[in-house]
Amino acid sequence: MSAEAKLKELGIELPEIPTAGGNYLHAVLSGNHLYLSGKVDRNVVGKVGAEVSLEEAYQAARQIGLFQLAVIKQELGSLDRVKRVVKALGMVNTAPDFAKTPAVINGFSDLMIEVFGDMGRHARSAVGMATLPNHVTVEIEAIVEVHPE
């Protein structure tokens, strides 16, 4: 099943892409790889393990996945041009003793697998940070391989 058809089957509508918060592009296509800038969910702010629960952070990571899918579609014209999700870097604003950053970033990874199947499985890093821009809870960047036009 195509990624576009899978989105419809899942009843997922892609959100508006948030305005860039600095002097950068949402994505850069180089050869057959699309490099996606870090995205955040501005509605979820605070440290996981203190002000934010694991479930809230997981949902923020999933929302960021939806933002990244919207960027991919804007850049490529269709999610069906994605050959595979190659790599994700998930950064989590954590309380000092919070050690479940992979469980947070699963919100992003689970969505990629829902939409792209096995081609959504990717290499990944999930790291804790002392803080993130504007105290958001999660930031995720990714790299996807694309089919030529």
Q: Cα separation of 134 and 123, whole Å?
A: 27
The rounded average pLDDT for each run of 10 residues, N- to C-terminus, in the chain (149 residues) is 93 92 94 97 97 98 98 97 98 97 98 97 98 97 94
Q: Please give the pLDDT value at position 20.
A: 85
- Residue ranges of domains in the chain, CATH in brackets: 26-146 (3.30.1330.40)
User: In 10 A of CB 60, how many CB atoms?
Assistant: 27
Q: How many CA atoms lie within 13 A of 139 on its CB side?
A: 16
Predicted TM-score (pTM) of the model is: 0.96
